[in-house]
Amino acid sequence: MDEGTSKAIPLRRSRSSTRAVSGRPLRLTEQLSGGVRYALSRPHQLWLAGLGSAAITIRGARAGWSRLVAEGTMVEGWLLRSLGGADPDARG
């Protein structure tokens, strides 16, 4: 019957265990450099690279779309001038 008490979970911590001692507060430069190191760690580099590639893709798509619209406007003006002989700005 004494076996149950030896396997019980202790309610208090033993006195021999070490407690975490809080060090001095970090200076601003230490906090910033720690944040930079954290952001540049391997998994975060992949995440940041993904953000960068998405931004470049969106920027390229917008630039491409603007170019297509400008080309379309020029072609439309050329067609109206060559086929209809009318001024493209005088449309109604």
Q: Any idea where the domains of the chain sit in the sequence?
A: 29-86
Per-residue pLDDT band for 61 (boundaries 50, 70, 90) equals: very high
Tokens representing 23 are 């060090």
* pLDDT at residue number 30: 82
Backbone φ, ψ for residue 65 (5° rounding): -65, -45
What sign does the dihedral 10-12-14-19 (CA atoms) show? positive
- Across 38-48, b (16+ Cβ under 10 Å) vs e yields eeeeeeeeeee
Helix (H, G, I), strand (E, B) or coil at 85: coil
The identity of residue 30, as a single letter, is E
Q: What tens digit of pLDDT does each residue of 16-34 get?
A: 655 555 677 778 888 778 8
